[in-house]
Chain A
């Protein structure tokens, strides 16, 4: 089946393309192909499970082709619509369906918004440069503690601290990266994992920043404007009337959501521009073959460090914003599970593809809250969903075309995420070792 797929890939560029367009007639064979990945005993019952994934893949392909044909104006119109849609999200009608068990506005801010911002940041490191970072939570923590310390002890305002937090976390990214980025694959993963733990444990053992009790009384951002959404149509129907979107109080989560949204939009623009620049090309080449990249004249070390610093800066920004809403933070907020969850979001969404990564982060944040009604079974169900996703779409929900080609090659795949499998260095080392 594997070879079958790759030959089709070779002739058409995409598995279900006929005459350059995906077709729905190919849906059933595609689902059967997917179900074929299951063990024999599960294949028949697996078919209906595989169907939604086949549909998703097809729709994604169709959309990608359509998107490729659109002009700049249409694209900008769609970006605009997406932002308007995001602005309307805190509506109570949406919340009633999306989150029957918890406060929707709060949920939108964190984990959903927070995870999305973190995933965009981690995607720079993992998805673009191909470096496996298992300690990403450290930068989130540094951002959070910057907010807490400078807000409570020095009385800085949120906006000043946001800048400082971004700089400090970028700096810590460089400090972590400079000695460790000579390592590859799993070695780098272990070192970053250690870094994440060091930051948390150091915070727990430092009395100045509250030790295990953390810091409370963190100030909220200053109110920018008292303006409220008028109590009239269409806002009353949309359930948005009466919000003061720029007034950051203790009760209403919605202004914080808008703050997070603004940060996400700015970050997306920044990251997208990087991706299509020389820097983005350098990252792609490092991810696909680091030695070859160096041979092309790419200063690989410098660019890996840059990826670390930029990823860290975004994580730090998320940390500052989270801290400004949370009022109090403790070291336990920054456990390894956050790093793992964000990495899961990146991988399951489609590492390297921004819309995919954001979808992944949304799902990882939202599913456990949406199924709160299942009580103690919810994590089990969540885990099951993740396993199914990885069986049927190992390349992620919305992978980029390019990622598919890398996976087909077998070695590129996740950059050095696959550790040292068949890399040029291991080969040479093994040769000499014998």
Chain B
């Protein structure tokens, strides 16, 4: 296993955000973690990349225990992340943003830069533009490209489809597939379950800090509960209303 998360608990103050999450990502896979707002998806990713300390449990990466490793050292170990809300450096140009991505690395960057520009021709056109003045889609491309600059073994993507037009979502997801085909393992956190399940090999469903389901992605696409909760379900049938309820409560308050 490349990345192994073993029963992790994370707290914000006294509130438990993760109540014992376990998941595994094998080399070369695309694994997706789907769930509603507030379920703990982002917290899981932040814990893996070291932005949140864990109160219990263990994270093993590439055979080493990284549970207590500082965030910036995990980058060198091979964990790259495109954070929630993209986290572009607004005042830096596209090129500078990409260079920041390789901050921890030494040596020649031209190969990685060329690769990112090839994956995202749009970024090559806008090298000199300030990150903050780009559109949402372009920023998402930049965030993914920037994470790739560190040559990660595993790429953590936090809702790459957030706030993007459907066309762009398609485009981003096909690029994610391409990145994976070139040998980078991907852990994808998504609310857009339909899209995520289509490109992923395996999937986990998270609800209020717990993994409630794990299966091959194709199986979850057909799973009636998952369909009802995350894929719009078959509207109008009585049992799907009942199944919809937990998702609705989890979704409701976070809509502000």
Contacts and interface: CB of A to CB of B under 8 A. Distances in A.
Contact of A292 (B12, B89, B99, B129): B89
Given A295-B49, A295-B81, A431 B71 contact: no
Interface string B120-137: 000000000111110000
B254 A424 contact: no
A296 B70 contact: no
Contacts of B84: 424, 427-428
A278 B100 CA distance: 10
Contacts of B87: 289, 291-292, 295, 424
B90 A432 contact: no
A291 B51 contact: yes
Nearest to A412: B90
A412 B132 CA distance: 9
Contacts of B42: 428, 431
Interface in A263-318: 278, 281-282, 284-285, 288-289, 291-300
Interface stretch (A55-63, A160-168, A365-373, A398-406): A398-406
Nearest to A423: B85
Contacts of A434: 38, 253-254
Contact of A291 (B83, B101, B131, B132): B83
Nearest to B252: A434
B17 interface: yes
Contact of A284 (B46, B72, B92): B92
Contact of B104 (A291, A296, A412): A296
Q: What secondary structure prevails in chain A residues at the interface with B?
A: helix
A428 B103 contact: no
Contacts of A401: 130
A281 B100 contact: yes
A184 to B, nearest CB: 13
Interface residues of B, number: 46
B38 A432 contact: yes
A288 B89 contact: yes
A9 B49 CA distance: 35
Interface in B76-120: 76, 80-81, 83-85, 87-92, 96, 99-101, 103-105
A429 interface: yes
A433 interface: yes
Max chain A CB contacts within 10 Å: which of B43, B81, B91? B91
Nearest to B49: A295
Nearest to A422: B85
Interface of A: 6, 9-10, 278, 281-282, 284-285, 288-289, 291-300, 401-403, 405-406, 408-409, 411-412, 424, 427-429, 431-434
19 contacts: A288-B92, A289-B87, A289-B88, A289-B90, A291-B51, A291-B83, A292-B83, A295-B80, A296-B103, A297-B73, A297-B103, A297-B105, A300-B72, A405-B130, A409-B133, A427-B84, A428-B42, A432-B17, A432-B43
